[in-house]
Amino acid sequence: MKLDDFNLSESIFIDANIFIYVSQSEPTYGRACIDFLERVEYMEIKAVTTSVVLNEVSYKLLIAKAGELLDTDRFWKIREELKDKTFTRTCYEIVEEFRDYVSTLFGLRVEDVRIDDFNMSVDLGSEFGLMTTDSYHVAVMKRLGVKHIASNDSDFERVDFIEVWNP
């Protein structure tokens, strides 16, 4: 299903890659994600995500920015350079922009995760062959009764009780 076509009154869970495509101005999927999130901003769509997703996006944006500035993809080098406060402040600018952007999405509810979500995520990850972060998202969706996810991650298609909406 295409994200542009989502017009249900039900809530939709937003995966990290949707936010990342917008933040990174991704050429293939960025426009569809911007349009989708504008609909969330104007409360045309009820959306939900978790603090885990926001943390995942923040981490990836921070590492990407540091890697870009250092012209490296070597994690140990990035981690070492992030000990420098001036460099860290520069890298955190994109995380701050993301934080500010999320605050404009008035149709977005950010859920905390619970220990029960963690416990269920282990079972769901094993059952559907998911990475741990993805199984965490599915566990929260199951608890909340959310059946739709905005994501470009095909792994979610293996979960038989959710519908994946791609940019």
Instruction: Please report the DSSP string for the chain in residue order.
Output: -BGGG---SS-EEE-HHHHHHHHTT-TTTHHHHHHHHHHHHTTSS-EEEEHHHHHHHHHHHHHHHHHHHHT---HHHHHHHTTSHHHHHHHHHHHHHHHHHHTT-TTEEEEPP-HHHHHHHHHHHHHHT--HHHHHHHHHHHHHT--EEE-S-GGGGG-TT-EEEB-
> Which pLDDT score, from 0 to 100, does residue 126 have?
98
pLDDT tens for 132-158 read: 999 999 999 999 999 999 999 999 999
pLDDT-derived band of residue 167, with 50, 70 and 90 as boundaries?
Answer: very high
Residues 32-64: tens digit of each pLDDT: 999 999 999 999 999 999 999 999 999 999 999
Confidence category of residue 85, pLDDT binned at 50, 70, 90 = very high
Output the pLDDT for position 150.
Answer: 98
Reading the block at residue 132, the tokens are 């741990």
What are the tens digits of pLDDT across the range 12-24?
999 999 999 999 9
Quote the pLDDT of residue 40: 98
Rounded to the nearest 10 degrees, the angle between the axes of helix 16-23 and helix 51-70 is: 40
With 0.85 as the threshold, say if the pTM is over it.
yes
| 9 pLDDT tier (thresholds 50, 70, 90) | very high
The pLDDT of residue 4: 95
- List, edge to edge, every strand of the sheet that includes 108-111: 108-111, 47-50, 12-14, 148-150, 163-165
Instruction: Output the pLDDT for position 28.
Output: 96
CATH of 3-165, one of 3.40.50.1010, 1.10.132.50, 3.40.50.300, 3.20.20.100: 3.40.50.1010
Span 95-116, average pLDDT? 97
